[in-house]
Amino acid sequence: MRRADLTNATLLQADLRGADLSGATTANTSFTVLVDDRTVLRGLTGTLFGPVTIVTGGTEQELDGLALQRWLAKRGAEVEVLSGFIYYARFDESSTSSRENPYGIVRRSTVDGIDVDEAFTRNLRWESTEYLRLYYLGHNDDDHAEIIRAEADAFIKRVTRTLTTPQARAVVERLTAVDWRDDDIAFTHATSRSRLFREHLRRSALWTKVYQPAGEWPVVDLAAAVAPTVQVDAELAARLDAFLEANLADVRAKALCRAALDWATLLDTTTVSLPELPDPYEPLLLMLERGGWCGLVVENRVADFAAVRVPFGTWQDHLSTEPIIQFGRSGLGTSD
């Protein structure tokens, strides 16, 4: 069984005494097996469900949860044991949290007869906690309720998504907060909006010079050009797409908004070393926040902001190291 792929396998009462599992991989593997000191576990990785029966001489000891995970780790395995834990959702009845929408989760396992408690933290891992002990001593005001593993997994997935995509999530929040129907605001800020759009084109041109992205200028796929494997969180993409379909008809505007989300996802996830160039989509987001797409007519590759027109031109036409506009409130204000 050396280097075996045990993904989703079910091993029930399998006798693995003396077996070589070095380099094997598991994923949601039912691993209710018998092992002994001769079983080679170094390099075993993945996730599995216990319990496992440890045979030593003429005695047997059943381990699960954290106790099993620690036993395996001592023998060189790097696996997460998914069974043997009791999970709890933490919530405060006086706030927006609830059992269905907790602000935290904890789990309890038993190691050598001692309860061991852990909380899933902002470090995206399980860490030791005193919460349950203090709760039963009367030192905590919030409450908790037992939940099943699937509910704990859903919480972990949600928190991980939130903490690993902060910039992408912020872009979606900003775009979905825009009032796309307020013509008065759009016309009031026509001058600053046109200058912000020009600044977006200037910055995009700088990035385009380096990466030569695909697409028809100015709607180019900068994120894919920098990191072709960048993948937007499905929930965020669906939320933005639904909002854009309901509030925006212009195809270019939708494409630019999605490009801004792609770029934010790139910044959240890439390990690629980026050149010291300004964010190409921040001016676009600020422009949209000052009136959405209202009053902007695009004809013959010209963006018409009522009194001000901005030609798309080519990316080379917009190459410049000098900013078009400053982002301080006073800078935007004086533009109008």
What does the pLDDT average to over 65-88?
Answer: 93
Name the domain boundary from 163, 198, 223.
Answer: 163
Q: Of 86-90, 302-306, 332-336, which gets the smallest average pLDDT?
A: 332-336
Residue 94 confidence class, pLDDT cut points 50, 70, 90 = low
What is each CA distance from 179 to 186, 204, 292, in whole angstroms? 10, 25, 6
Average the pLDDT over 253-269 and give the result: 94
Q: Does the pLDDT of residue 296 top 70, yes or no?
A: no
The values of phi and psi at residue 213, to 5°, are -70, 160
Residue 36: pLDDT over 90: yes
Let me know whether 264 and 141 are in one domain. no
Q: Please, what is the average pLDDT of the chain?
A: 90
How many beta carbons lie within 10 A of that of residue 35, not counting itself?
24
Q: What is the pLDDT of residue 268?
A: 93
Same domain, 184 and 312: yes
Give the per-residue pLDDT at 285.
94
Tell whether the model's pLDDT for residue 30 goes beyond 60: yes
What pLDDT is stored for residue 330 in this prediction? 47
**pLDDT exceeding 70 applies to what percent of the chain?**
95
Same-domain pairing of 216 and 313: yes
Q: Residue 128 forms beta bridges with which residues? A: 118
DSSP 86: E
**Which of 27-31, 46-50, 177-181, 231-235 is least confident?**
177-181
Q: What is the pLDDT of residue 55?
A: 95
Task: Indicate the Cα dihedral angle 148, 151, 156, 161, nearest 10°.
Answer: 170
- The residue range of the domain holding 24 is 5-81
Question: Region 254-274: what's the mean pLDDT?
Answer: 93
CA distances from 88 to 17, 146, 238 (A): 35, 4, 30
Residues 289-307: what's their mean pLDDT? Answer: 77
Residue 92 and residue 217 in one domain: no
| Same domain? 193 vs 310 | yes
Residues 153 and 276 in one domain: no
Measured distance CA(77)–CA(39) in Å, rounded: 12
Domain match, 34 and 46 both: yes
More confident: 292 or 333: 292
| Same domain, residue pair 196 and 279 | yes
For residue 327, pLDDT over 60 is answered with yes
Total number of domains in the chain: 3
Selected residue with higher pLDDT from 212 and 332: 212
User: Residue 294: its pLDDT value, please?
Assistant: 66
